[in-house]
Structure formats: structure tokens, C-alpha cells
Amino acid sequence: MGQKIIGVVAVIIGIMAMSVAHGQQPDLDAQVSRFLNNARVSWNYLNVPYEDGKILHDLVLKGNFKHILEVGTSTGHSTIWLAWAAAKTGGRVTTIEIDKDRYEAALDNFKKAGVVQYIDARLGDAHDLVPALKGPFDFIFCDADKDWYIQYFRDLEGKISLNGCFTAHNVLGWSSDGKKFVEYVKRDSKFRTYIERGSGEGISVSCRITK
Ligand SMILES: C[S@@+](CC[C@H](N)C(=O)[O-])C[C@H]1O[C@@H](n2cnc3c(N)ncnc32)[C@H](O)[C@@H]1O
């Protein structure tokens, strides 16, 4: 009997050790997914759809990205997906929002989701804050003012590391500025650009292929 219990405990410890080795944190995973599932129908401040958040999360994991920047926090839906991925890669997310009420709501959501320690949330105008960022970044998600996407890319392109990616939301559909941005970035031979079609809104992904 005693040996049986020791065997079961050893198996549990083994499973926990394997989870940690693969970057999974069972308590955090449970807390974040519970929060995201509960909040799924209540995001309404121009937040990304659930599916798009998952695409961002999976891209970060696939590239093992650690130095993450988001422009346009709103109340924090995409940020939470990015931070959840950062928790698994050993990374951190810097995110910028100009609207004080949304910024404060986002801080509250980060605490509730359990990801606050993976996020550096900044309140301010990204037109001023972005050019002053030091970088380098290996993953950028741009989801603020669409008519400034090209300028954000110009300000950040030199700070994106090799194989790092600049992603932008709403590049299909309603925003003509989103489409103009894709035409612009596709002409940049230092980056390879494709569109994530799993997103109804369209997420462009431009990854640096040469210095
Ligand atoms: C589409 S929403 C972002 C949604 C967010 N990514 C999410 O999934 O929850 C765009 C946000 O960008 C913010 N924004 C617009 N222009 C900005 C600027 N110049 N600097 C910082 N934030 C800006 C808006 O206030 C708005 O909250």
C-alpha cells in the first residue's frame, strides 16, 4: 500500500515537472482560460475576437518570442493572450493605450486574468511613445489608429530582430488604411508578409528575413 502511494506521488511529480519543462503552468493556464472564457461575450471596447487572440498567442509560442510590444491595449483582450504566451516563453509584453478609462479597465483585467506580472502597461499617445522605445522586439502587434500603421512600422522596423514579426489587425475588410499598410509592407524586401486567414478581420504578419 505504502509503495503504491509513493508510486502515485512520483507519477504526479513527474507530470508536473514535464509541464514546467514545456513552459506550462497549470494554475496560471486554468486562471487565464477561465477568465478568457467567461469574458468571451463581454468584450466590447473594439477588442479582438477570441479567435484572433488565440492566433496571436500561437504565433508567439511558435516563434518562441519574448520581447513583445502591443500598440492599442483598449481593455486588454489581446494583451492577455500575448501575456499568456509570454508566460510560457519567458517573455514580457509592453502595451500602450491613450484612453485612461480603457487603460485602467485593462489593468483590472490583467489582475483578474493573473497575468499582470508579464505586462508593462503604458498610458499615453503611441505617436510619441513608440519612437522613443528602445527595443529590440521580436513580436509586435499593432491594433491602434489604422491611419498611423505605416508610421508605426517605419518607427519600429529598425528595432525588430531577425525572424521577429510585426503583425497588424484589421487589414482585410473595413479599413482602407489597413489595406494600404499591407501594400506598403509587402514592398519591403527585408520582410516576408502573409495574412492570417483564420482571422475574419485579417492579421498581417511581416517577419524579418534579413538584417
Ligand atoms: C481596436 S482597439 C484595441 C483592442 C485591443 N487590442 C484588444 O484586443 O482588446 C484600439 C485602441 O487603440 C487606442 N489608440 C488609438 N490611437 C492611439 C494612440 N495614438 N496611442 C495609443 N493608443 C491609441 C484606442 O484608444 C483603442 O482603445
Is residue 18 assigned to a domain? Answer: no
- Overall number of domains in the chain: 1
Q: Which ligand 1 atom is nearest residue 53's CA?
A: 8
Ligand 1: residues within 6 Å at CB?
Answer: 46-48, 72-78, 96-99, 102, 125-127, 143-145
Q: Is residue 149 part of a domain?
A: yes
Cell of 61: 509560442
Q: Is residue 174 part of a domain?
A: yes
The answer to the question of residue 3 being in a domain is no
Domain containing residue 89: CATH number: 3.40.50.150
Mutate to test the pocket of ligand 1, among 69, 145, 146, 156 (most ligand atoms within 8 A of CB): 145
Please tell me the pTM assigned to this model. Answer: 0.90
- Asked, for residue 156, whether it belongs to a domain, the answer is yes
* b/e per residue 189-198 (b: at least 16 CB within 10 A): eebebeebee
Domain hosting residue 159, numbered range: 25-208
What span, in angstroms and rounded, lies between the C-alpha atoms of 99 and 73?
9
Residue 201 included in any domain: yes
**Confidence bin at 7 (pLDDT 50/70/90):** low
Would you say residue 7 lies in a domain? no
Q: Sign (positive/negative) of CA torsion 152, 91, 54, 120?
A: negative
Is 16 a member of any domain? no
* Chain segment 170-189, per-residue pLDDT in tens: 998 777 999 999 999 999 99
26: cis peptide before it, omega within 30°? no
